[in-house]
């Protein structure tokens, strides 16, 4: 088949960028949080345990802790973004309400605990479809 008839393959550098997708979600974070380039995997996301919302570069705690109030949408150790080879995944960490990736629910009450992220734009929602914790995850 001539090269001009082949579909272009998206160029992926392996850069992962996380951004709040809704104003309500952005308001839950510290001032000036607009995007975060994820460089270390697994990248853990969960509910703040009373220390305020923040970003941690490493350690066994959450890399990104979000402030949530009852009724909780986000578990303490909700989910993580991981890299396997050249692919990226969101894996629910057994949260009670689950995680939604590109409209696909994952978690202990679903068929799968993980969902692949595609090159380009992806949506990540922590908790149910009513949750304000909605992010854009870009694979560049």
Domain count for the chain: 1
Model pTM? 0.82
In a domain, 98, yes or no: yes
In a domain, 91, yes or no: yes
In a domain, 109, yes or no: yes
d(CA 129, CA 78): 15
In a domain, 92, yes or no: yes
Pick the more confident residue, 60 or 14: 14
Whether residue 40 is predicted with pLDDT greater than 60 in this model: the reply is: yes
In a domain, 81, yes or no: yes
Residue whose C-alpha is closest to residue 79's, from 25, 41, 33, 34 = 41
Pick the more confident residue, 66 or 79: 79
In a domain, 87, yes or no: yes
**Percent of the chain residues past pLDDT 90, beyond the cut:** 57
Residues 35-50 have a mean pLDDT of 88
In a domain, 82, yes or no: yes
In a domain, 95, yes or no: yes
Label residue 1 by pLDDT band (50, 70, 90).
very low
- Domain ranges, residue 96: 73-113+125-130
Q: Any idea which residue has 């970003």 for tokens?
A: 55
């Amino acid at each position: 088949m001539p090269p001009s008839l082949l579909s272009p393959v998206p160029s992926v550098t392996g850069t992962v960028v996380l951004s709040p997708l809704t104003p309500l979600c952005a308001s839950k974070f510290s001032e000036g949080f607009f995007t975060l380039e994820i460089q270390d995997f697994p990248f853990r996301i969960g509910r703040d345990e009373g220390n305020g919302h923040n970003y941690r570069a490493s350690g066994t705690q959450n890399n990104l802790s979000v402030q949530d109030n009852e009724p909780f949408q986000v578990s303490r150790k909700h989910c993580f973004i991981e890299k396997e080879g050249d692919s990226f995944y969101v894996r629910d960490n057994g949260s009670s309400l689950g995680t939604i990736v590109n409209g696909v629910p994952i978690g202990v009450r679903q068929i799968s605990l993980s969902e692949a992220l595609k090159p380009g734009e992806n949506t990540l929602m922590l908790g149910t479809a009513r949750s304000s914790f909605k992010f854009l995850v870009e694979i560049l």
